[in-house]
Amino acid sequence: MIAFQYIDNQAALDALVAQYNEAELLVLDTEFVRTRTYYARLGLIQAYDGKHLALIDPLAVNDLSGFWALLTNPAITKLVHSCSEDLEVFANYGKCQPAPLFDSQIAAALCGWGHGLGYAKLVEQQLSISLDKGESRTDWLKRPLSAAQLQYAANDVYYLYQLYPALKAEVERQGRMDWVLEEGARLTAGRLDRPCGDMAYLKVKNAFQLTPKQLAILKVLAKWRLEKALSRDLALGFVIKDHGLIALCRKPPQNIGQLMRMNELTEQEKRIHGKELLEVMVTADVNNPPPAVDVLALRPGYKASFKVVKALLTAICDTHQVPEELLASKRHIHDFLQWHLDAQQGDLPLLLTGWRGALAAIPLQTLELSI
């Protein structure tokens, strides 16, 4: 049994924060629930500095500001594992991002232990301990939490602390600590920015198929949907699904009767949003539509250029023992080709910056691409 302190009052949290402020390393994890909401709903925070393992109840403690301040203390390294969703929680609830950030999943990949390792797999591989996954589907908003659920939560930070010394030593031996911290900073970048309503239409599936006039309608609809989702804390699809927005743009209804006959919208979508949808659609500036959604992958020469870049990056990965998923992912190559097509204007693509750029920038920029 792992010993922990359950923090459910302000005095206990304040005392804990004072202790953690003296730490050099703080292991972090969160438990949350996400069903219909835009943002995950925080149910529990786990933290461990090697001396004090705490399970913090955010439903019981009203003021977490002291704890959130720990996350930006530059003297404390924050240790996490596969932290993307945790970072979303920190941004939404704490309005902050942890720094400096050491993600053990990324570190394990960069030092050759394996790419994309789950926490339980990494613990089993390095510590020969098999973790119980039986509480993974817990409703973390329900109270009280059982002893088994609390132990499950404690495990997530306790064993990660045990993993850290060997993982850190191997990363440092290979001279890649700066790489790990760079990846941590990249993961947190932009997390505090509010989603941009004017650009929301670019994330709607099949937006590229629309005409300029239809795209102008989609722009105002997608912005409206995002604002509605944020104000009501609903996942986008629980406001209106993508295919419903596309249908409205392709054949815009002129009145509520036409809208009510659309099969692409659910009865609930029609009933709740029908009138408002019509009001939003007439605000579209069809005479000044947004730029067409350029699908780079459909352009002549894209596939051939992609293969050339992929082959080069694969060779670099083999030489430097770097997982292809971190250096030669489809997204990274696509962004590089987009930058190349845009006459090398705008922000540098990821492949030309940081540790990736140190490995790949010179050979990439000597390539002759046909796109």
Is residue 73 within 8 A of residue 45, CB to CB? The reply is no
Both tokens of 228, joined, read 């509605």
Catalytically annotated residue among 38, 48, 49, 86: 86
Catalytically annotated residue among 49, 57, 103, 156: 156
**Active-site residue 156, yes or no?**
yes
**Active-site residue 183, yes or no?**
no
Q: DSSP states of 344-356 as a string?
A: T-SSPPGGGSHHH
DSSP 8-state code for residue 119: H
Q: DSSP states of 317-341 as a string?
A: HHHHT--HHHHS-HHHHHHHHHHHH
* Nearby residues of 5 by Cβ (< 8 Å), 6 or more positions away: 12, 16, 52, 53, 54, 55
Name all contacts of 261-265 with Cβ < 8 Å and 24+ positions apart. Answer: 265/240
**Active-site residue 38, yes or no?**
no
**Active-site residue 152, yes or no?**
yes
Catalytically annotated residue among 48, 152, 158, 164: 152
Burial class (CB in 10 A: 0-12, 13-18, 19+), 261: exposed
**Active-site residue 103, yes or no?**
no
| CA distance linking residue 311 with residue 305, whole number of Å | 10
Q: What angle do CA 355, 361, 363 make, to 5 degrees?
A: 130
Helices (H), 174-301: 177-188, 212-232, 242-250, 256-260, 267-281
The neighbour count for residue 60, using CB atoms within 10 Å, is 14
Q: Is the peptide bond before 144 cis (omega within 30 degrees of 0)?
A: yes
Q: 59 by DSSP, 3-state: which?
A: coil
Catalytically annotated residue among 20, 31, 164, 269: 31
Cα–Cα distance list, 76 to 11, 204, 273, 343 (Å) = 22, 40, 48, 42
Active site residues per annotation: 29, 31, 86, 152, 156
